[in-house]
């Protein structure tokens, strides 16, 4: 390897980078003889060669340059690594700086410690080939590409002294989420926020084909990135240039960042701030053998994963591996005990400033509970009885959230992210407490925009998710309201995040962070005007397949239960929650005390809607969700009126996971409580907000689950009226009553006659609404009888 000359007055990075690259390669290949004190033999090679070498040298270049920034400027640096499969490089740097040893003495900076680290890498119960919660200094896995940059911005918000360096691989840069995330500078206030320093790492190839960005010229890259609003610096190290050009570029970028922030904080706020970034060109797998057995490796996609895959059986590859590893001259880098020599350690920041020990990467240590305002002043008064008051649940919640915004203003530790849907979802009261964040000038008419706003609206669910993840992971709080149908845009992101939380629970030194809560509104049952495309409750099903210890699903039936639910979830840690709530004015059922008891139970019988007078019921009418509650109550009202001898128990479920057996979900109600609500053999007609399969999945393991007849959304939809949409899916009050009559017995022919009457009436209502274009008054004006 050709080595650049070192700039005077600065620790020699060449030795440090050689050591890190050597350790990274050793983790992939070696199980013994980790410092090459003996000739390399096949038995020294791991039986399974796993990992990705190609991006490792570039990651170490960035890490070393950031170390220089920390040492020379005292910068507070957090690193987000998009190419998470470059984990060997991160492990190498963490081992060299001593962070691994701080967390686990078995990973000491000795030959034994390096052997232990190599033995754990890609081994059962060890470190995976990508980053994970078990890796110190890490808050982003990077296994699924696209989200590093938005997550980095979330970490920088409301952290004015923090520099979040973000390595974006050129493969990751091809993704849609990354494309949207470049715009995040337009939301970052230089006064109240920190800064994100992206390093777009161009090393040419993905698994087996070239990357789009690496094929672009410097002029094309500069034009694109400047168009996004960045001030790019291109650093090309493919020819091993003299000096430390990347370190110089990082220091220069930091100077620009501090100047921009100082000007803004002194009142001279830049109109269109262009934040610096770095484009790093390096060879794929830089430092690997140039060619082996006639096949080019360095600088090609053959260096992406394991460059020498047949090293066990091919003597030439074994010789090439030994030559490659010895080219780093490990005997100069480590002493007889395997400890890094002073020349290597000279590049490491002092204890307490190391990148791997950055407190924000274990944000639960920084988390402080929100000062939540009391909810009684915001509760809906239902003193006159169930259904006598009318309110929009989300509008009621919005008034309370506005006070949450105000009470957290001093600490600036609570944000709301939303894809431009706050007003649509009737949560716009929060804008009275904090405006919408936007830094760039807006010439056209607009409302509630402010540079330091803590409401972030962008028509990118991916960006909102990344922002909030970064914010929560660094110890803060937030909420993600969005249209129900389009929450599924981030299905894969929440999958990855839920896995992160599950694994974090198993790492003793990881402190719990605030829960990520989605508020799904504009729900499908009231998207009849937008049509079929906006009718999709599948996000619930996605979350049901995640680990039960980190998930919660809530369907509050009215405003007071929504307030109680959100009060609890904004104080909770370590979970992903979904809350589904309506935004339209609707009847309110429970006073605040009853709402608290109902939410605490997760599900309960409503005696005022039941007719069984303490006897065993003939049937249970159950429901979960705002619209299903109304339809089920209307069905109960019909049956009470037309078949008064039928004993009906009415059950509402607010915590969906309470339906699961307690050994399958921590929220699951006990068997005794389940029997008290649903009996052992009693037929249950269950009207559910989403897909019926979700309820059936939860009921698995309960006694006789086949007696539950679940109605829900079955992919029937169009542009029509609310009642017609319910009827199309078999969930209207008439359909529920007809289903109940099927299981109430013949009763001298009365049940069958009623079912026929209800069906005819339903069909006549549907014919009428097609003539008028609106639902009939008997549907829209129905109220629970006093």
The string of pLDDT tens digits covering residues 423-462 is 999 999 999 999 999 999 998 888 999 999 999 999 999 9
- pLDDT score recorded for residue 7: 54
Give the pLDDT mean for 723-732. 97
Nearest to 286 by CA among 215, 325, 238, 235: 238
* pLDDT for 748 beyond 80: no
- Name the residue range of residue 231's domain: 13-354
* pLDDT for 486 beyond 50: yes
In a domain, 360, yes or no: no
Give the angle 430-413-509 at the CA atoms, nearest 5°: 140
* pLDDT for 6 beyond 60: no
The answer to whether 548 and 665 are in contact (CB under 8 A) is yes
Q: Looking at the structure, do residues 644 and 770 belong to the same domain, yes or no?
A: yes
Whole-number percent of the chain with pLDDT over 70? 99
Give the pLDDT mean for 182-194. 97
* pLDDT for 754 beyond 90: yes
* pLDDT for 667 beyond 90: yes
pLDDT-derived band of residue 657, with 50, 70 and 90 as boundaries? very high
Number of structural domains found in the chain:
3
C-alpha 143, offset from chain centre: 14
What distance in Å separates the CA atoms of residue 199 and residue 63, rounded to the nearest whole number? 11
Question: Positive or negative CA dihedral for 19, 21, 23, 25?
Answer: negative
Sheet holding 76-81, edge to edge: 76-81, 162-169, 195-202, 275-281, 230-236
- pLDDT score recorded for residue 8: 53
Nearest to 404 by CA among 541, 609, 265, 570: 570
- pLDDT score recorded for residue 4: 39
Place of tokens 């350690």: 345
What distance in Å separates the CA atoms of residue 273 and residue 451, rounded to the nearest whole number? 12
Q: Out of 339, 354, 369, pick the residue that ends a domain.
A: 354
Token pair belonging to 656: 């969906």
* pLDDT for 1 beyond 50: no
Helix (H, G, I), strand (E, B) or coil at 599: helix
Give the angle 259-261-262 at the CA atoms, nearest 5°: 65
Give the pLDDT mean for 133-145. 92
Q: Out of 586, 619, 645, pick the residue that ends a domain.
A: 586
Could you give the C-alpha distances from 361 to 306, 364, 668, in angstroms and in order? 29, 9, 33
Q: What is the pTM of this model?
A: 0.96
What distance in Å separates the CA atoms of residue 279 and residue 220, rounded to the nearest whole number? 12
Angle between helices 315-326 and 13-29 (to 10 degrees): 150
What distance in Å separates the CA atoms of residue 230 and residue 199, rounded to the nearest whole number? 12
Please write the tens of the pLDDT for every residue from 338-385. Answer: 999 999 999 999 999 999 999 999 999 999 999 999 999 999 999 999
Angle between helices 750-772 and 733-742 (to 10 degrees): 160
* pLDDT for 5 beyond 50: no
Q: Looking at the structure, do residues 76 and 197 belong to the same domain, yes or no?
A: yes
Question: Positive or negative CA dihedral for 754, 757, 762, 768?
Answer: negative
DSSP3 helix / strand / coil % (the chain, rounded to 5): 45, 15, 40
CATH classification at residue 81: 3.40.50.970
- pLDDT score recorded for residue 443: 82
Give the pLDDT mean for 174-198. 97
In a domain, 35, yes or no: yes
The answer to whether 319 and 335 are in contact (CB under 8 A) is no
- pLDDT score recorded for residue 2: 36
What distance in Å separates the CA atoms of residue 148 and residue 172, rounded to the nearest whole number? 9
What distance in Å separates the CA atoms of residue 183 and residue 198, rounded to the nearest whole number? 12
What distance in Å separates the CA atoms of residue 605 and residue 541, rounded to the nearest whole number? 25
What distance in Å separates the CA atoms of residue 653 and residue 620, rounded to the nearest whole number? 12
In a domain, 370, yes or no: no
pLDDT-derived band of residue 9, with 50, 70 and 90 as boundaries? low
> Is 109 buried (19+), middle (13-18) or exposed (0-12) by CB count in 10 A?
buried
- pLDDT score recorded for residue 183: 98
- pLDDT score recorded for residue 723: 97
Q: Give the contacts of 124 (CB within 8 A, at least 6 positions apart).
A: none
DSSP assignment letter at 650: E
Give the angle 654-692-701 at the CA atoms, nearest 5°: 75
In a domain, 623, yes or no: yes
In a domain, 68, yes or no: yes
In a domain, 517, yes or no: yes
In a domain, 17, yes or no: yes
The answer to whether 284 and 22 are in contact (CB under 8 A) is no
What distance in Å separates the CA atoms of residue 459 and residue 420, rounded to the nearest whole number? 6
Q: Looking at the structure, do residues 251 and 140 belong to the same domain, yes or no?
A: yes
The answer to whether 449 and 442 are in contact (CB under 8 A) is yes
Q: Looking at the structure, do residues 642 and 581 belong to the same domain, yes or no?
A: no
The answer to whether 386 and 609 are in contact (CB under 8 A) is yes
Using the CB atoms, write b or e for 502-539: b if 16+ within 10 Å: bbbbeeeebbbbbbbbbbbbbbbbbbbeeebebbbbbb
CATH classification at residue 653: 3.40.50.920
Determine how many CB atoms are found less than 10 A away from the CB of residue 385: 13
Please write the tens of the pLDDT for every residue from 527-565. Answer: 877 888 889 999 999 999 999 999 999 999 999 999 999
DSSP assignment letter at 109: S
Q: Looking at the structure, do residues 167 and 58 belong to the same domain, yes or no?
A: yes
Token pair belonging to 72: 């020379």
Whole-number percent of the chain with pLDDT over 90? 92
Token pair belonging to 568: 């609890």
Q: Looking at the structure, do residues 419 and 561 belong to the same domain, yes or no?
A: yes
Q: Out of 354, 373, 405, pick the residue that ends a domain.
A: 354
- pLDDT score recorded for residue 665: 96
The answer to whether 95 and 107 are in contact (CB under 8 A) is yes
> Is 73 buried (19+), middle (13-18) or exposed (0-12) by CB count in 10 A?
middle
Rounded to the nearest integer, the mean pLDDT of the chain is 95
* pLDDT for 278 beyond 80: yes
Q: Looking at the structure, do residues 424 and 310 belong to the same domain, yes or no?
A: no
Token pair belonging to 674: 């389940």
Could you give the C-alpha distances from 728 to 288, 333, 721, 780, 782, in angstroms and in order? 63, 73, 10, 17, 20
> Is 376 buried (19+), middle (13-18) or exposed (0-12) by CB count in 10 A?
exposed
- pLDDT score recorded for residue 240: 80
Q: Looking at the structure, do residues 428 and 325 belong to the same domain, yes or no?
A: no
Token pair belonging to 382: 């239902």
Q: Looking at the structure, do residues 65 and 181 belong to the same domain, yes or no?
A: yes
Which spans in 166-244 are helix H? 176-181, 218-228
Could you give the C-alpha distances from 214 to 22, 238, 304, in angstroms and in order? 26, 12, 15
E strands, 379-524, are: 389-391, 414-418, 436-437, 449-450, 455-457, 477-483, 516-521
* pLDDT for 116 beyond 80: yes
* pLDDT for 764 beyond 70: yes
Q: Looking at the structure, do residues 567 and 686 belong to the same domain, yes or no?
A: no
pLDDT-derived band of residue 786, with 50, 70 and 90 as boundaries? confident
C-alpha 286, offset from chain centre: 33
* pLDDT for 3 beyond 80: no
The answer to whether 207 and 172 are in contact (CB under 8 A) is no
* pLDDT for 84 beyond 90: no
Residue 145 phi/psi, 5-degree rounding, is -80, 150
Q: Looking at the structure, do residues 581 and 608 belong to the same domain, yes or no?
A: no
Q: Looking at the structure, do residues 576 and 607 belong to the same domain, yes or no?
A: no
Helix (H, G, I), strand (E, B) or coil at 522: coil
Q: Give the contacts of 391 (CB within 8 A, at least 6 positions apart).
A: 380, 558, 559, 585, 586, 588
In a domain, 267, yes or no: yes
What distance in Å separates the CA atoms of residue 615 and residue 712, rounded to the nearest whole number? 29
């Amino acid at each position: 390897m050709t080595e650049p000359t070192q700039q005077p007055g600065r620790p020699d990075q060449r030795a440090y980078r050689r050591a890190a690259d050597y350790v990274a390669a050793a983790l992939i290949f070696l199980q013994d003889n980790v410092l090459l004190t003996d000739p390399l033999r096949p038995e020294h090679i791991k039986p399974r060669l796993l990992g990705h070498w190609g991006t490792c040298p570039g990651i170490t270049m960035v890490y070393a340059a950031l170390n220089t920034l920390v040492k020379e400027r005292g910068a507070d640096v957090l690193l987000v690594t998009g190419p998470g499969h470059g984990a060997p490089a991160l492990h190498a740097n963490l081992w060299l700086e001593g962070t691994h040893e701080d967390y686990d003495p078995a990973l000491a900076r000795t030959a034994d410690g390096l052997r232990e680290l190599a033995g754990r890498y890609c081994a059962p119960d060890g470190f995976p080939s990508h980053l994970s919660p078990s890796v110190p200094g890490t808050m982003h896995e990077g296994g699924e590409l696209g989200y590093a940059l938005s997550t980095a911005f979330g970490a920088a918000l409301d952290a004015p002294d923090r520099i979040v360096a973000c390595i974006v691989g050129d493969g990751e840069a091809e993704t849609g989420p990354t494309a949207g995330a470049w715009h995040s500078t337009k939301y970052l206030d230089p006064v109240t926020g920190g800064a994100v320093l992206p390093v777009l790492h161009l090393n040419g190839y993905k698994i087996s084909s070239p990357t789009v960005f690496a094929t672009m010229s410097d002029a094309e890259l500069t034009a694109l990135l400047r168009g996004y609003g960045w001030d790019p610096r291109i650093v090309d190290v493919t020819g091993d240039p003299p000096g430390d050009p990347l370190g110089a570029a990082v220091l220069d970028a930091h100077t620009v960042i501090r100047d921009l922030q100082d000007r803004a904080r002194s009142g001279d706020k830049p109109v269109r701030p262009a934040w610096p970034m770095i484009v790093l060109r390096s060879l794929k797998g830089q430092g690997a053998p140039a060619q082996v057995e006639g096949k080019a490796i360095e600088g090609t996609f053959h260096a992406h994963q394991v460059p020498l895959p047949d090293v066990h059986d091919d003597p030439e590859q074994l010789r090439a591996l030994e030559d490659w590893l010895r080219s780093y001259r490990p005997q100069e880098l480590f002493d007889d005990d395997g400890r890094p020599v002073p020349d290597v350690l000279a590049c490491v920041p002092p204890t307490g400033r190391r990148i791997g020990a950055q407190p924000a990467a274990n944000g639960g240590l920084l988390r402080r509970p929100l000062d939540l305002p009391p909810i009684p002043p915001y509760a809906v008064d239902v003193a006159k009885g169930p259904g006598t008051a009318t309110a929009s649940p989300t509008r009621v919640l919005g008034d309370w959230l506005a006070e949450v915004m105000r009470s957290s203003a001093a600490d600036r530790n609570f944000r709301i992210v939303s894809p431009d849907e706050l007003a649509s979802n009737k949560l716009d009261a929060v804008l009275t407490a904090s405006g919408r964040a936007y830094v760039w000038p807006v010439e056209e008419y607009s409302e509630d925009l402010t540079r330091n706003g803590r409401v972030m609206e962008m028509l990118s669910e991916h960006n909102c998710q990344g922002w909030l993840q970064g914010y929560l992971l660094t110890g803060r709080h937030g909420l993600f309201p969005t249209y129900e149908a389009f929450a599924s845009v981030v299905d894969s992101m929440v999958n990855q995040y839920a896995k992160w939380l599950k694994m974090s629970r198993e790492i003793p030194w990881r402190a719990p962070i605030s829960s990520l809560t989605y508020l799904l509104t504009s729900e499908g049952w009231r998207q009849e005007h937008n049509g079929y495309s906006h009718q999709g409750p599948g996000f619930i099903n996605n979350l049901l397949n995640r680990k039960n210890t980190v998930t919660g699903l809530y369907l509050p039936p009215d405003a007071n239960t929504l307030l109680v639910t959100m009060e609890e979830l904004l104080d909770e840690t370590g979970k992903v929650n979904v809350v589904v709530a309506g935004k339209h004015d609707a009847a309110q059922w429970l006073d605040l005390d009853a709402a608290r008891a109902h939410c605490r139970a997760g599900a309960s019988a409503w005696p005022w809607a039941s007719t069984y007078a303490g006897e065993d019921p003939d049937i249970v009418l159950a429901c979960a969700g705002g619209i299903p509650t109304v339809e089920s109550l209307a069905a109960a009202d019909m049956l009470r009126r037309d078949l008064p001898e039928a004993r009906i128990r009415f059950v509402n479920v607010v915590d969906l996971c309470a339906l699961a057996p307690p050994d399958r979900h921590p929220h699951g109600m006990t068997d005794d409580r389940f029997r008290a609500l649903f009996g052992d053999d009693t037929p249950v007609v269950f009207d559910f907000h989403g897909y019926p399969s979700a309820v059936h999945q939860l009921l698995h393991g309960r006694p006789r689950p086949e007696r539950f007849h679940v109605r829900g959304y079955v992919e029937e939809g169009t542009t029509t009226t609310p009642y017609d949409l319910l009827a199309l899916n078999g969930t209207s009050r008439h359909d529920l009553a007809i289903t109940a009559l099927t299981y109430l017995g013949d009763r001298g022919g009365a049940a069958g006659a009623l079912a026929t009457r209800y069906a005819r009436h339903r069909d006549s209502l549907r014919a009428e609404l097609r003539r008028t274009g609106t639902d009939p008054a008997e549907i829209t004006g129905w109220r629970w009888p006093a």
